Amino acid sequence: MGRSIPPLVGSSAASPPRLLRFGESQVVYEQGDVAKSWFEVQTGIARTCRFFPDGDRHVIEFYFPGDVFGLERPWREDTAEAVGALEVHRRDHWAVRPVADNEEARLEAALRSTRDYIYLLGHRSAEQRVAAFLLRLAERTGAKREVAVPMSRADIADHLRLTIHTISRTISGLCRRGLIRLRNPQAVSIIDEPALRRLAGETALTPPVAE
Amino acid sequence: MGRSIPPLVGSSAASPPRLLRFGESQVVYEQGDVAKSWFEVQTGIARTCRFFPDGDRHVIEFYFPGDVFGLERPWREDTAEAVGALEVHRRDHWAVRPVADNEEARLEAALRSTRDYIYLLGHRSAEQRVAAFLLRLAERTGAKREVAVPMSRADIADHLRLTIHTISRTISGLCRRGLIRLRNPQAVSIIDEPALRRLAGETALTPPVAE
DNA sequence: CGCGCTTTTGAACTATGTCAACAGAGGTGG
DNA sequence: CCACCTCTGTTGACATAGTTCAAAAGCGCG
């Protein structure tokens, strides 16, 4: 499944993108900050999260190389952090930004994807969520069989709204049933993709959308 | 809490709104239809839902008099139905539509509200959800103490992602604890609003947004 | 009155969370 | 190079919120 983000417009010659590097869990920007720029992942993975008064964390989305994030204005709706080593291009000027039409398209896509996410959260079991997550991970990273899982169990748990225990148990369960194999905690082999797909449910998730 | 929907523009003289009436559970438009018009509730309540292959239903939102719904294009993302008797004004022409800027604002508001909704679904207990639902109902209908609950328990359940049993039990529980009183299943009196608010959690929900 | 709805309530079940312990990988310093 | 430490992931035993199943209670309507 491809990216549905509209192409960017404007010449970057006007303000060349700056390459920024972040380490494990370093903050790219913080919830509530004034938004002055947006980012494109070069290498590594970024995550956006919201933190709640009760100390709870919600991982909204993961961004992979080529993905764009941090487009929202005027304030950051969420905090962006590096999952492991991360390189991003920062664009400082709003002149270099999706045009208005595309902005609307972007928001619509974001809304649609958010709704699929609500479906995942509201209507699917732990096993279905994990299956769907792995499949999407494979799709998004272009992996066929050997899927890299660079984020921690805690990241996955806070994204799927489960605990690390349930994630771990569920993954073990999928292994036991022969749907996947675990070379190591960060490397999953998909053995029986059709079964995994069946488990995840037909309802494909729409691709993620930058914000 | 007020509506955050931008004001509408365009003269309705060009195409006068048409008044339509619907009865209990009649369909205003259906998921997948081509969107040719949008609606403003005059009297009664409308609900938008999504239906899933497994027969599951998700009630996305309720719309009260003055609320606008069905703005999305080019296809209906969800089905709109009447909750009891409903009168709406239909606007047939897209000329009479929020302007582009406002459209963007609307989508942003919708996205924000959807995120609060995710928070409700992902991080709150049944009791907290029901409390929040009742308070929002009161706010939206301008009720102080005597809140009308025109939708069925099934509607509420499919909106809060619980079963009718849990809804019913939870409401009974709130009664037993003296936070509310139940004159009849469709009429709740809020007795201890501060306690109800505390229960619902600080995190106020943003007002609903038409689509 | 009797039927068909919605709501309420009770009892048993189950998925997931909580608590607790252990295992393995990697890093650091002796 | 090994001993130790920390951090993450795994696993087990138990707790519990919410579901499921079953039935009764209220209510409108023919």
pLDDT in tens, B47-56: 999 999 888 9
Considering chain A, what percentage of its residues have pLDDT values greater than 70?
84
pLDDT (tens digit per residue) in A66-90: 999 998 888 999 999 999 999 999 9
Mean pLDDT for the stretch of residues A163-177: 98
Q: Mind giving me the DSSP string for B132-170?
A: HHHHHHHHHHT-SSEEE--S-HHHHHHHHTS-HHHHHHH
- Residues of B near A (Cβ–Cβ under 8 Å) read 50, 52-54, 56, 58, 60, 72, 77, 100, 103-104, 107-108, 110-112, 114-115, 117-119, 121-123, 161, 202-203
Q: How confident is the model at residue A45 (pLDDT cuts 50, 70, 90)?
A: very high
- Where is mean pLDDT largest: A63-77, A154-168, B72-86? A154-168
Rounded to whole angstroms, the Cα distance separating B52 from B7 reads 34
Residues in A closer than 8 angstroms to B117, CB to CB, are: 118
Q: Chain D bases under 7 Å from protein CB?
A: 8-13, 17-22, 27
- The one-letter amino acid code at B165 reads H
| pLDDT band at residue B196 under the 50/70/90 scheme | very high
Supply angle C-alpha A103, A108, A113, rounded to 5.
125
Indicate the SS3 state at residue B193.
helix
- For strand C, give the nucleotides within 7 A of a protein CB: 6-11, 15-20, 25
Spell out which chain A residues touch chain B, with contact meaning CB-CB distance below 8 angstroms: 50, 52-54, 56, 58, 60, 72, 77, 100, 103-104, 107-108, 110-112, 114-115, 117-119, 121-123, 161, 201-203
B211 pLDDT more than 60: no
pLDDT mean over A8-17: 56
Give the pLDDT band (50/70/90) at residue A6. Answer: very low
- Residue-level pLDDT at A203: 46
Strands (DSSP E) along chain B, which ranges?
A: 18-22, 27-29, 38-51, 57-63, 68-69, 79-91, 146-148, 180-184, 187-190
| pLDDT value of position A104 | 79
Inter-chain touch A121–B122, beta carbons under 8 Å? yes
The mean-pLDDT minimum among A176-190, B87-101, B143-157 falls in B87-101
Rounded to the nearest 5°, which phi and psi values hold at A77? -80, -20
For position B105, what pLDDT does the model report?
80
From CA A210, how far away is CA A91, in angstroms rounded? Answer: 14
- In Å, what is the CA distance from B16 to each residue of B7, B40, B72, B74, B90? 17, 13, 20, 22, 9
Instruction: Indicate if the pLDDT at residue B108 is higher than 70.
Output: yes
Structure token pair of residue B2: 């007020």
Task: Please say if the pLDDT value at position A128 is more than 50.
Answer: yes
- Alpha-carbon gap: A148 to the closest alpha carbon of chain B (Å): 26
Query: What are the b/e assignments for B81-115, b being 16+ CB within 10 Å?
Result: bbbbebbbbbbeeeebbbeeebbbbbbbbbbbbbb
User: Whole-number mean pLDDT of chain B?
Assistant: 87
Going by pLDDT thresholds of 50, 70 and 90, the confidence category of residue A55 is: confident
* Structural tokens at position A147: 């899927």
Asked if residue B138 has pLDDT above 80, the reply is: yes
| Backbone φ/ψ region at B55: left (φ over 0), alpha (ψ -120 to 50), beta | left
CB contact (8 A) between residue B56 and residue A123: yes
CB A63 within 8 A of CB A46: yes
- More confident call, B12 vs B149: B149
Would the CB atoms of B58 and A100 count as touching at under 8 Å? no
Residues in chain A within 8 Å Cβ distance of B111: 107, 110-111, 114
Q: pLDDT digits over B17-33, tens only?
A: 899 999 999 999 999 99
Cα–Cα distance for residue pair B164/B22, rounded to 1 Å: 25
Burial of residue B32 (CB within 10 Å: 0-12, 13-18, 19+) is exposed
Residue B203: list chain A partners with CB under 8 A. 52-53
Is there a contact between A90 and A37 (Cβ–Cβ < 8 Å)? yes
Q: What pLDDT shows up at residue A73?
A: 81
| CB-to-strand C contacts below 7 angstroms | A 125-127, 161-163, 165-166, 184; B 152-154, 164-165, 167-169, 171-172, 182, 185-186
Q: How far apart are CA B147 and CA A154, in angstroms?
A: 41
Q: Where are the beta strands (DSSP E) in chain A?
A: 18-22, 27-29, 38-51, 57-63, 68-69, 79-91, 146-148, 180-184, 187-190
Residue A108, pLDDT score: 84
Q: How far apart are CA B154 and CA B91, in angstroms?
A: 30
Band of residue A112 on the pLDDT scale cut at 50, 70, 90: confident
Please compute the mean of the pLDDT values over residues A110-134 and round it to a whole number: 94
pLDDT at residue B63 greater than cutoff 70: yes
Candidates B177, B147, B185, B160; CA nearest to B59 is B160
- pTM for this entry: 0.88
Q: How confident is the model at residue A95 (pLDDT cuts 50, 70, 90)?
A: low
DSSP character string of A87-130:
EEEEE--TTSS--HHHHHHHHHHHHHHHHHHHHHHHH--HHHHH
The whole-angstrom separation of Cα B68 and Cα B160 is: 21
Enumerate the residues of chain A whose CB falls inside 8 A of the CB of residue B56: 123
Nearest nucleotide, CA A166 to C1' = C16
First CA to last CA across chain A, in angstroms? 19
pLDDT at B152: 98
